[in-house]
């Protein structure tokens, strides 16, 4: 029996986040340039979106490009940006056909104007879709996001729109780029690295973490289903005891 058949559809994680890691190492192992790994990684993302649709995952958020990635060689960054633009345009029709809404988070104004325009266009044309929301984190950093949220709250206090005592977890979360999304219940990181890399630090306070040795270009639906099965075998206590849950 495959992993898909083991999934309990009544206990699905509503939101899955993925750190898509290992493109460069995968390309190197195949004797190719890093850009080839990123291109192959797009095929993995398409397959994982299909996997989410297959089992009914409502929210998928993927870490595509961090603020730290800007420090990579210009050739690789430029190739990534060109790949992003072509992929967005190429997959727009497929997203609409499958009722997938495209969303993006991060310091988007730092992206090339062509990326910004194409993102905005596809986000607009898919805005009415409600089967699954695919959020792409671009030029994203959790520390940047939290810092920007704090700045906005300070401005609200200074303008007397808020008092300091009115600021609580919900109010703070409303200023994050993920304000319209539920917190992830499962975070997957590929390629055998065991760190979060500045991704959704606020949002994953109680998220289940799943690490796999599989490099992202090799990650497919069956790997996703295996991660979901592993998630469903865990007891999520949120600070309570097992006896309290039972």
Residue with tokens 């999934």: 7
* Residue 109: pLDDT over 60: yes
C-alpha 125: how far from chain center: 20
Comparing 46-60, 67-81, 197-211, which segment has the lowest mean pLDDT? 67-81
- The residues near 71 (Cβ < 8 Å, ≥ 6 apart) are none
Least confidently predicted of 9-18, 62-71, 116-125, 178-187: 62-71
pLDDT of residue 161: 97
Just list the catalytic residues: 21, 69
Q: What is the DSSP letter of 72?
A: S
**pLDDT one-digit tens code per residue, 131-140:** 999 999 999 9
Q: What pLDDT band is residue 240 in, cutting at 50, 70 and 90?
A: low
CB atoms near residue 11 (< 10 Å) = 10
Q: What number of CA atoms fall less than 13 Å from residue 200's CA on the CB side? A: 33
Domains along the chain with CATH numbers: 11-141+183-234 (3.40.1180.10)
143 band by pLDDT with thresholds 50, 70 and 90: very high
Average pLDDT over residues 79-85: 86
Do 119 and 176 meet the contact criterion of CB atoms below 8 Å apart? no
Residues in the chain: 246
CB 202 within 8 A of CB 173: yes
| 45 contact partners, CB below 8 Å, separation of at least 6 | 20, 62
Which residue is it, tokens 């309990």? 8
SS3 call for 61: strand
The mean per-residue pLDDT over the stretch 149-160 comes to: 98
**pLDDT, averaged across the chain:** 93
The tokens describing 89, both together, are 């345009």
pLDDT-derived band at 75 (thresholds 50, 70, 90) equals: confident
Asked whether residue 141 carries a pLDDT value surpassing 90, the answer given is yes
**Average pLDDT rounded to a whole number, residues 142-154:** 98
pLDDT, position 245: 54
| Per-residue pLDDT tens over the stretch 2-46 | 999 999 999 999 999 999 999 989 999 999 888 888 899 999 999
Say if CB 146 and CB 201 are below 8 A apart. yes
């Amino acid at each position: 029996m495959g992993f898909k058949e083991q999934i309990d559809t009544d206990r699905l994680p509503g939101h899955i986040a993925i750190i898509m890691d290992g493109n460069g190492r995968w390309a190197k192992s195949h004797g190719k340039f890093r850009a080839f790994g990123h291109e192959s990684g797009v095929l993995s993302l398409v397959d994982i979106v299909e996997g989410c649709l297959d089992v009914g995952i409502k929210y998928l958020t993927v870490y595509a490009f961090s603020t730290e990635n800007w420090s990579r060689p210009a050739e690789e960054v430029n190739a990534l940006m060109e790949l992003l633009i072509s992929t967005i345009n190429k997959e727009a029709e497929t997203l609409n056909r499958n009722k997938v809404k495209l969303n993006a988070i991060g310091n988007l104004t730092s992206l090339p104007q062509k990326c910004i325009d194409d993102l905005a266009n596809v986000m607009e044309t898919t805005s009415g879709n409600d089967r699954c929301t695919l959020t792409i984190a671009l030029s994203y950093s959790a520390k940047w996001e939290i810092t920007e949220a704090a700045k906005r709250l300070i401005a609200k206090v200074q303008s007397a729109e808020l008092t300091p005592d009115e600021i609580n977890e919900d109010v703070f979360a409303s200023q994050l780029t993920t304000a319209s999304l539920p917190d992830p219940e499962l975070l997957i990181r590929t390629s055998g690295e065991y760190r979060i890399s500045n991704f959704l630090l606020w949002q994953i306070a109680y998220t289940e973490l799943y690490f796999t040795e599989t490099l992202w270009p090799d990650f497919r639906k069956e790997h996703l289903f295996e991660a979901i099965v592993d998630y469903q075998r865990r007891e999520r206590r949120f600070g309570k005891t097992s006896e309290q849950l039972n």
